Chain A
């Protein structure tokens, strides 16, 4: 057996490809079983990866025994392993949820399983990628699967949102690829590790242009303000399980690439650019929260909340001097938001199945009748508002800590007011629980497993705050190459 065949990193890309293909061949009845079994094995692989981590060391895996520059390498470090583990933790409950949801909503949507599988494979490939071109391929595969998931049941508004998402995604990927082309023209390589070694302190114009193109493309894919416009229609109109996957994981993937490049190829950094990113992040927090506050549709509200929460991630760039603190804040925010947002969309899907309506007002009919779902809403809201002891609280606490250390008082104010704004729009949901129960609307029965999965995700997002040291440990010191 060749060495790479025993490596969990390679299997993490192979397994989802395998079960996605099987799910496509054997149809929706078997698809769910393949998915559950596949993700269980993936979870074991991810845990083995985490266990084998050496702090601060990047593990290199030449696929097929061919090392770079001829072959493709996979790199594993703390950040990559953390993201891989997070993907499994979010995906497994969501797959159980999706199975029940397909039954409850009476849909023949067998397409979901292969698409989820290919999407997970793309995510894993992206987290493990060691060169700029592999990142491009993974980004494109991810984008195509995500767009197909948004198209969902084929309702006109879903198709329109999907098509716009696709065009933005393709434009962004093309800009990124052009950046890769310029990098190759300048240095004759696209391997991240090699580029770190050959980058000049004063890079030539072509490289600055390349970096700018890649950054703009990745910002558009992450839906950072002012490129957020595609996200609310896409995540708001997609089927609930798809929205959960997209908001929790897919938008984080392109942020991961930005962070990865900033820490390696562009380790020198540029203060103006860092502050520009943080400024966009701040604007995203304010604008996203405001729009979420004004939303009448429940899923649209949650989608705008994603726009706002992504903003926090970009605040870390000027704070990277306090490296461990800022990185831990970003990692915790990614983990906490992924879990909480998956829970919120899952809970919104339950509301949709039970009442047949996607509006904040419809929630009143549920008060006191679906207690587990309510609890899920509540716990996820605690994380998003950043109340202790949740993961969201700790992420924001670390951010504030890093901002205070740099004496950036404006940012401290922004983070605090962002939390208040978050509370403002989330209480629009929560206050329905205490509304007088005038509504006697008949609810469609919801499978218990859907409720419990939403609850599980929400509870995990809170517990993560108590067990945060584990995350910081996995993160270790992110490999410097």
Chain B
């Protein structure tokens, strides 16, 4: 089994864990974290499968970079929404922060 395939398989495992977590967990913060695990899994698969021929392929790496930017933005939005939900508006000054 090549190194790339090992990466891809662990990526698939992470993806599975992440999907299960995002769907099954109740706590919203945990679900957001599970989504991040899932995203890492996809990135690992992208990079891992592209290394098949021994050399690294730059195209999937560029894709992963884009994917990471998207994941960071999405996580920020999710956490911001969660924060607003956890601190009910009008009860404290932190609601507007």
**What residues make up the interface of A, taking CB atoms closer than 8 Å to B?**
133, 137, 140-141, 143-144, 147-148, 151, 154, 156, 159-160, 162-163, 166-167, 170-171, 173-174, 177-178, 180-182, 184-185
Nearest A residue to B28 via CB reads A163
Residues of A within 8 Å of B85, CB to CB, are: 156, 159-160, 163
Nearest A residue to B8 via CB reads A185
Query: Nearest-CB distance from A251 to chain B (Å)?
Result: 19
Q: Are A185 and B31 in contact (CB under 8 A)?
A: no
Q: Are B70 and A140 in contact (CB under 8 A)?
A: yes
Query: Nearest-CB distance from A334 to chain B (Å)?
Result: 27
Query: Nearest-CB distance from B1 to chain A (Å)?
Result: 15
Contacts known (A174-B35, A174-B38, A181-B42); A163 close to B81, Cβ less than 8 A: yes
Q: Are A171 and B46 in contact (CB under 8 A)?
A: no
Q: Are A147 and B77 in contact (CB under 8 A)?
A: yes
Nearest B residue to A206 via CB reads B49
Q: Are B67 and A170 in contact (CB under 8 A)?
A: no
Residues of B within 8 Å of A151, CB to CB, are: 81, 84
Query: Nearest-CB distance from B52 to chain A (Å)?
Result: 8
Q: Are A159 and B46 in contact (CB under 8 A)?
A: no
Residues of A within 8 Å of B32, CB to CB, are: 167
Give CA–CA (A171, B74) in the complex, Å: 11
Contacts known (A144-B73, A171-B23); A181 close to B81, Cβ less than 8 A: no
| B59 part of interface (Cβ distance < 8 Å) | yes
Known A-B contacts: A163-B82, A174-B35, A185-B8. Give 8 more (CB < 8 A): A143-B74, A159-B85, A163-B81, A170-B74, A174-B19, A174-B42, A177-B67, A181-B60
B42-83 residues at the A interface, CB under 8 angstroms: 42, 45-46, 49-50, 52, 59-60, 63, 66-67, 70, 73-74, 77-78, 81-82
Contacts known (A156-B88, A171-B35); A166 close to B81, Cβ less than 8 A: yes
Q: Are A144 and B89 in contact (CB under 8 A)?
A: no
Contacts known (A163-B82, A167-B35); A178 close to B42, Cβ less than 8 A: yes
Query: Nearest-CB distance from B49 to chain A (Å)?
Result: 4
Contacts known (A162-B81, A167-B35, A181-B42); A144 close to B66, Cβ less than 8 A: no
Give CA–CA (A251, B67) in the complex, Å: 22
Query: Nearest-CB distance from A33 to chain B (Å)?
Result: 27
Nearest B residue to A176 via CB reads B42
Contacts known (A162-B81, A184-B46, A185-B49); A140 close to B38, Cβ less than 8 A: no
Give CA–CA (A159, B23) in the complex, Å: 18
Q: Are A181 and B49 in contact (CB under 8 A)?
A: yes
B16-39 residues at the A interface, CB under 8 angstroms: 18-19, 22-23, 28, 31-32, 35, 38-39
Give CA–CA (A429, B67) in the complex, Å: 44
Residues of B within 8 Å of A178, CB to CB, are: 15, 42, 45
Query: Nearest-CB distance from B23 to chain A (Å)?
Result: 7
Give CA–CA (A173, B22) in the complex, Å: 13
Query: Nearest-CB distance from B54 to chain A (Å)?
Result: 15
Residues of A within 8 Å of B31, CB to CB, are: 167
Q: Are B77 and A144 in contact (CB under 8 A)?
A: yes
Residues of A within 8 Å of B74, CB to CB, are: 140, 143-144, 166, 170
Give CA–CA (A379, B18) in the complex, Å: 46
Residues of B within 8 Å of A167, CB to CB, are: 22, 31-32, 35, 78
Contacts known (A154-B89, A174-B39, A177-B42); A184 close to B49, Cβ less than 8 A: yes
Query: Nearest-CB distance from B64 to chain A (Å)?
Result: 9
Residues of B within 8 Å of A173, CB to CB, are: 70
Sampled A-B contacts (21; CB under 8 Å):
A133-B63, A137-B66, A137-B70, A144-B74, A148-B77, A159-B85, A162-B81, A163-B78, A163-B81, A170-B78, A171-B22, A171-B23, A171-B35, A174-B15, A174-B19, A174-B38, A174-B39, A177-B46, A182-B45, A184-B50, A185-B8
Query: Nearest-CB distance from B12 to chain A (Å)?
Result: 9
Give CA–CA (A143, B78) in the complex, Å: 12
Give CA–CA (A154, B49) in the complex, Å: 42
Give CA–CA (A184, B59) in the complex, Å: 9
Residues of A within 8 Å of B50, CB to CB, are: 184-185
Nearest A residue to B82 via CB reads A163
Query: Nearest-CB distance from B93 to chain A (Å)?
Result: 15
Give CA–CA (A178, B88) in the complex, Å: 37
The contact of A171 among B28, B38, B60, B77, by CB within 8 Å, is B38
Q: Are B81 and A159 in contact (CB under 8 A)?
A: yes
9 closest A-B pairs (Cβ-Cβ)?
A185-B49, A181-B46, A159-B85, A140-B70, A163-B81, A178-B42, A181-B45, A177-B42, A170-B35
